Chains A and B, each alone.
Chain A
Amino acid sequence: MALQVEHELHRRRRSRNVGLGLVLVGLIGIVFGLTVVKVQQLGATQSFDHVVRPELLPGEEAPQ
């Protein structure tokens, strides 16, 4: 019997595979969306990084 690219099994399981694929794509979207929202809710997240950032010093006006 010749090798077939599309086995009959693929056809039978198409709805399962397509469904599972969509679920996984949805999951990626949800995790990404949650990440975006959670990071936005953190507010400003910058910190000192070797160089002093005057706008982060408490109670001081940033020099012009």
Chain B
Amino acid sequence: MTDLSTTSPLEGEAQFGDYFALLKPRVMTLVVFTALVGMLVAPVTLHPFVGFCAILFIAVGGGAAGALNMWWDADIDAVMRRTAKRPVPSGRVTGGEALAVGLALSGFSVVMLGLATNWAAAGLLAFTIFFYAVVYSMWLKRSTPQNIVIGGAAGAFPPMIGWVAATGSIGLESVLMFALIFLWTPPHFWALALFMRSDYDDAGVPMLTVTHGRRATRVHILAYTIVLAAFAVWLAFTPIGGPVYLVAAVALNAWFVKGAWEIWRRDEDMAEADKYLTERKVFKFSLLYLFLHFGALLADAALRALGVI
């Protein structure tokens, strides 16, 4: 027997799936979907294969940022139940490997996106990776309760990158798509933080619920949701909006504001009494909310392409 086969036991060997898990595939689906919508609603049409490659490189860039985040956050991931099974805290992949995968794929995705589309889109992708890995993960996540707000910005860039990949410039519509995700993230995660109470406390991540109290979190959810509703409906009156989006935005935002209002009205006793039923409902609905907004944009783009509107 050689020492190679004795030092790492079979079950501890990292499989391909473990490296793939470094890229946060579930986050990637949202990145792919929003970037795709950003690209398809743009007034410039890319060659389908170039478009496919651009989405792939944006997804890989997002995945690279995820790997860098897992390298940096392995210590707190190990403490939280939700994240303890990730490849680095569980010991299947070393921190150094995660760092290497993250850096290599960052460089690869940015260069390839630049070659496939344009360097403005590539620069925006590079900035997004930097923002998520350095500004959010390394700097602000552990130091401010506004971490969710800042992290939301990183998640909000993909539709803008998709738009820039197609058109070469930013434009109001892509800024509003950015605002839609940026303003949606805080109420979405704070609703989660209200009913998943212990995880972030154990890890020592300053969540708003801990630093400013649960009452303040409820106020923040309502405030962000109202601002979000204004921006979401505004998007309907830009060239990429249309009847489907307008109807969807009005209905979904009315529903979301009503949910946030109910969260704001409740106190902890009421929430404990029904085991955070309203908070859970709003959290679940918020996922659908984002998906349907971007789906509606896509529907209007399809109607425009068919000449219906």
Q: Which residues of A pack against B, CB within 8 Å?
A: 1, 7-9, 12-13, 15-16, 18-20, 30, 33-34, 37, 41
- Residues on A with C-beta less than 8 A from B285 are none
Q: Which A-B residue pairs are the 10 nearest by beta carbons?
A: A19-B16, A15-B15, A15-B16, A12-B13, A16-B16, A8-B5, A37-B49, A37-B47, A33-B49, A9-B4
Given contacts A7-B5, A34-B116, contact A20 B16 (CB under 8 A): yes
Contact pick for B53, options A15, A18, A33, CB 8 Å: A33
Contact pick for B16, options A18, A33, A41, CB 8 Å: A18
B1 lies within 8 A of chain A by Cβ: yes
- Residues on B with C-beta less than 8 A from A1 are 1
Q: Is the CB of A34 within 8 A of B16?
A: no
B227 lies within 8 A of chain A by Cβ: no
A9 to B4 Cα, complex, angstroms: 8
Give the bracket for the number of chain B residues in contact with chain A. Answer: 20 to 34
Q: Is the CB of B4 within 8 A of A30?
A: no
Q: Is the CB of B115 within 8 A of A34?
A: yes
Contact pick for A16, options B8, B10, B19, CB 8 Å: B19
- Residues on A with C-beta less than 8 A from B53 are 30, 33-34
The distance from the CB of A6 to the nearest CB of chain B, in whole angstroms, is: 12
Q: Is the CB of A30 within 8 A of B115?
A: no
Q: Nearest chain-A residue to B116 (Cβ)?
A: A34
- Residues on B with C-beta less than 8 A from A7 are 2, 5
A12 to B229 Cα, complex, angstroms: 52
Q: Nearest chain-A residue to B8 (Cβ)?
A: A12
Given contacts A1-B1, A8-B5, A33-B49, contact A13 B13 (CB under 8 A): yes
Given contacts A7-B5, A16-B19, A34-B53, contact A41 B13 (CB under 8 A): no
Q: 1/0 per residue B1-38: CB within 8 Å of A?
A: 11011001010011111011000000000000000000
Contact pick for A41, options B15, B20, B47, CB 8 Å: B47
